[in-house]
Structure 1
Amino acid sequence: MKGYEKININNGINLMLIPRDNYKTNIVTVYLKRPLNREEVTKNSLIPSVLKSATVGYPNPIAIAKKLQDLYGSTIGVSVDKMGERQVLSFRMYCVGDMYLPEPVFEDSLAMLKEIILHPLTKDGGFIKEYVDIEKTILEEDIKSKINNKGHYAVEKCIENMCKQEPFSISEDGYIEDLGEIDEKSLYSHYKEIIETSPIDIVIAGSFDRDEIIETVKSKFNFERKELVKIDNEQIYKKPEASYITEEMDINQGKLVLGLRTNMDYKDEKYYNLMMFSAVLGSGAHSKLFLNVREKHSLCYSIYSSLEKLKGLMFISAGIEISDYDKALELISKELDDMKQGNITSEELTNSKKFIINNLKSLNDNLSAFTDYYYSMSIQDSNRTIDDVINLVSKVEISDIVEVGKEIYLDTVYFLTGKSNN
């Protein structure tokens, strides 16, 4: 069985259906895709929260909350994410399946989600100033607070330097310096533009009647559209020369991040060989980085590798003593070289497969994660099921891992260190 069914219902509006009868909750997520663009990224980041504040029919947060409570405790969440070189605005509605309630709420819940996205409360040609100002303040504080998580900050700075000539370097959260130029009228004008020109995906996961859902969505999301904004495919293939960047901050523990180009397209079946490469190298307590760099040499407090699948990047992140920079970099480089030379044991291969397969199976226990998995697949026009991926992972051999390792190149080494006494 396919993981999802995709149906075009309007110009650039697609409906994705993920039928699953083993959940009591249905999830409807509306995704608006934008290119990562420095000129609009901050405005895009503000819009979902502003829309969730007030609508024509429910003119304040209290009225919205009361309506959701009337829908048997349905909830709505909004977010802004980076998916490859796309900025994705999402609106997610959780509601109990109709079969578990004394009266149906699914259609009313969908209508409420439409109300929030398409019918915002306005005044004098703009959003309500009070709500825009509140969300601007919250966003500014959120951006400022990112520096408090030094590990996350270091990865973001590595990306910023590594991809400085590419859209991927742009922060999906936006920039504080843009906020002063944004007011309720300019933001509303931009909102109308993104509603009319953004590719939109409506993803419904859970238990539902297929034909009824299609007709309901078609009737509720049938509105005027213009020419869609163009979203280019990510630049994936690159053989860089490594650069080394050091930033000083008032900290006691250093944060080391290695950014690598994997030259692997997520659509390629060989991507799962790369997934195994990362798992053997640095995913979990069984990995080479954990056992050899952290445990054997006691050189770091934490260390792991991760993949940015849509952009084809790999990151190795470590929290280390500042004085151990050279030694840590040497040992991490040795583990990478060992991987590329095929110094991988059958035990490491088996443990890594179990780690990945268990993580994949756990997606079935969480409908939100399940939805995100298939939406991520759909972005690359793939419909591989979780079982498909488990099958591919199960077949990976050491020689496959060595093969993908030949195309992995170090791009950037970023080190967040303490302030010198000079």
Structure 2
Amino acid sequence: MFLSTKLAEGVTLHIRQTTQFKTVNFSIKWRRPLTMKDAAERAVLSNVLQHSNGKFKKSAEFRSYLDDLFGTVLYFDASKRGSEHTVVLNVETVNDQYLAQNKVFNEVLDLLNTVIFQPNFENDKFVSSIVEREKEMVIQRIHSIFDDKTRYAQHRLTQIIRPNHPASISANGTIDTVKAVTIDSLTEAYHSMINEDKIDIYVVGDIDVEAVQKKLTEALPFKDRAPKKVERNNVDSKPEKEYTKEQQEMKQGKLHIGYSTPVFFGDEDFPKMQIFNGVFGGYAHSKLFMNVRERESLAYYASSSYSSYYGLVFVVSGIEPANEKKATDVIAEQLEAIKNGEISDLELNQTKAMLTNQLKEALDLARGQIDIYDQYKDLDDQFSVELWKERWDKVTKEDVQKMASQVKLEAIYFLSGKEA
């Protein structure tokens, strides 16, 4: 799918030549082990790097220049995956072959060099006023979770089910760790990211592979590095308690339930767990939706998700507070039904079709191709839709039943209004 080349130790370039798109997409991902301190610094750093640099000191100037490059889109973001924190730079620009003058591609490469290697420094440090402004933006982003009660309930459940664990560490850090960021610590975090992080560079478009490889080698002169190895969930963490109820000013109750599974991303049984989650609550045909919401009318919504990097399955539902006990019981009944082998051909086949279609839809976008390949590239087999469709097609009802038998209830979190 992608042609991969090592540019330096710890730095890999992945190019996909395709006539599928009229744009060229770049994605540069810097990775290191996830810690609360690093997450906070890197979230602020991604904001700072996005809005100004050594050439364009003001955000308005920078945005104006991007507009001049036929509306080139450029943004930084911070995210996490498993025990790893990622700062990503995404760029999408028009392909030169659709322009009268073939010059945008080279100007975008120059811009990549600028935003990465020429930060907006004063006396070899970030500008204090800019850092403080972007710290406040990250703090507002963290605060916003309190206004979205579904996100807040899920956040609280992960804190309860896996305290002091990568699963409960936000990609933005905490308000306190963001407040603790200084121009010195941010400058140090920048140099550490540029010189020490593991880096993957992606390019997708109708391009000359050899020419692009040569140009990127010159535009992005990353040096050799020995990135820190990321361990899979290396923190032993158990739930704080099995049941937690909290109250806020709100009407609809949020019932969130966390389960553990011994199956992680990339394990032999991983495709089977994906099918289990689809049958349990991943889709509109799943047991949770059909029984908790449709049959019993206990929930405004009810679904499950499989967090494969942490070996966790989450159920989320919005209910009337008075229905908490009944909803909890009916959710548990759906898991028991799968454990007992009560799985219809329709549930199984629709789940397989949905997983395959989701994969195909994601690959219709350049960014989807990058993200999926980035996720699957470290597995033993080369990624293809056909390979994963074949793996899902092989999953039997007995396989799904076996996966369900390994799913263990860890914690229940209920958020309700104060009158409940």
Superposed pair shares fold, TM > 0.5: yes
Judge conservation of contact 2:162–2:239 (CA < 8 Å) in 1.
Answer: no
Partner of 1:28: 26
TM-score by length of 1: 0.93
* Cα offset, 1:226, TM superposition: 4.7
Tell me the equivalent position of 1:63: 61
Amino acid in the other structure paired with 1:259: G
**Residue type of the alignment partner of 2:17:** P
Q: Which amino acid aligns with 1:62?
A: A
Structure 1 residues 89 and 212, CA gap change in structure 2 (3 angstroms): same
Q: Once the 2 structures are TM-superposed, how far is the Cα of residue 408 of structure 1 from its aligned partner?
A: 1.5
Secondary structure of the residue that 1:365 maps to in structure 2? coil
Question: What's the offset of the Cα at 1:31?
Answer: 0.5
Segments of structure 1 that go 5 or more residues without pairing to the other structure are none
Residue in 2 that maps onto 1:333: 332
1:109 aligns with 2:111: no
TM-superposition CA deviations, 1:64-109 (whole Å, max 9, x none): 2232223222110221111111111111000112222221422321
Count the aligned residue pairs: 419
Contact 1:239-1:409 at 8 Å conserved across structures: no
Partner Cα separation in structure 2 for residue 233 and residue 359 of structure 1 = 26
Contact 2:49 2:76 in 1 (8 A): no
User: Residues 316-331 of structure 1: matches in 2 within 5 Å?
Assistant: 316-331=315-330
Aligned residue runs from structure 1 range 294-313, under 5 A: 294-313=293-312
SS of equivalent residue, structure 2 residue 299 = coil
The residue number in structure 2 matching 1:40 is: 38
State whether structure 2 residue 95 is matched by structure 1 residue 97: yes
Q: 1:242 to 1:131 in 2, by over 3 A?
A: closer
Q: Separation in 1 of the partners of 2:169 and 2:15?
A: 31
- In structure 2, how many angstroms separate the alpha carbons of the residues matched to 1:238 and 1:386? 35
| Aligned-residue offset at 1:269 | 4.2
Unaligned runs of 5+ in 2: none
Shift of the 45–240 alpha-carbon distance from structure 1 to 2, 3 Å rule, reads closer
Deviation for aligned residue 1:53: 1.8
Distance in 1, matches of 2:205 and 2:29, equals 17
Aligned position for 2:136:
137
How far is the alpha carbon of 1:290 from its aligned partner?
A: 0.8
CA distance 1:54–1:241, change in 2 (3 Å): closer
What is the Cα deviation at residue 325 of structure 1?
1.2
Q: Relative to structure 2, which stretch is displaced further, 242-251 or 359-368?
A: 242-251
* Contact 2:10-2:225 within 8 A present in 1 as well: no
Q: Distance in 2 between matches of 1:235 and 1:21?
A: 42
| Alpha-carbon shift at residue 340 of structure 1 (Å) | 1.4
CA distance in 2, matches of 1:379, 1:312: 18
Q: 2-side partners of 1:342 and 1:204: how far apart? A: 45
For residues 388 and 23 of structure 1, what CA distance do their matches in structure 2 show? 24
| Aligned 8 A contact 2:37 2:173 in 1 | no
SS in 2 for 1:69: helix
Q: Which of these residues, 48, 53, 63, is aligned with residue 50 of structure 1? A: 48
Q: Distance in 1 between the 2:155 and 2:381 partners?
A: 28
> 1:197 deviation in Å?
1.0
Amino acid at match of 2:317: A
User: SS in structure 1 opposite 2:51?
Assistant: coil
> Residue 221 of structure 2 corresponds to which residue in structure 1?
222
Q: Write the distance in 2 (CA, Å) between the matches of 1:239 and 1:120.
A: 42
Work out whether residues 236 and 311 of structure 1, in 8 Å CA contact, stay in contact via their aligned partners in 2. no
**Aligned counterparts of 2:141 and 2:239: Cα–Cα separation in 1:** 33
The separation in 1 between residues aligned to 2:228 and 2:393, in whole angstroms, is 40
Cα deviation, residue 170, structure 1: 1.0
CA distance in 2, matches of 1:226, 1:121: 24
Q: 1:400 to 1:239 in 2, by over 3 A?
A: farther
Aligned positions of 1:78-93 closer than 5 A: 78-93=76-91
The worse-fitting range, judged by mean Cα deviation, of 358-367 and 88-97 is 358-367
The residue number in structure 1 matching 2:207 is 208
SS of equivalent residue, structure 1 residue 171: coil
What fraction of aligned residue pairs are identical, expressed as a percent? 27
Q: What amino acid does structure 2 have at the position aligned with 1:199?
A: K
Shift of 1:379: 5.3
Cα RMSD for the two superposed structures: 2.2
Specify whether residues 230 and 358 from structure 1 end up closer, same or farther in structure 2 by C-alpha distance, changes over 3 A only: closer
| TM-score of the aligned structures, taking structure 2 as reference length | 0.94
Other structure's SS at 1:277 match: helix
- The residue aligned with 2:232 is 233
Q: CA deviation at 1:235?
A: 4.8
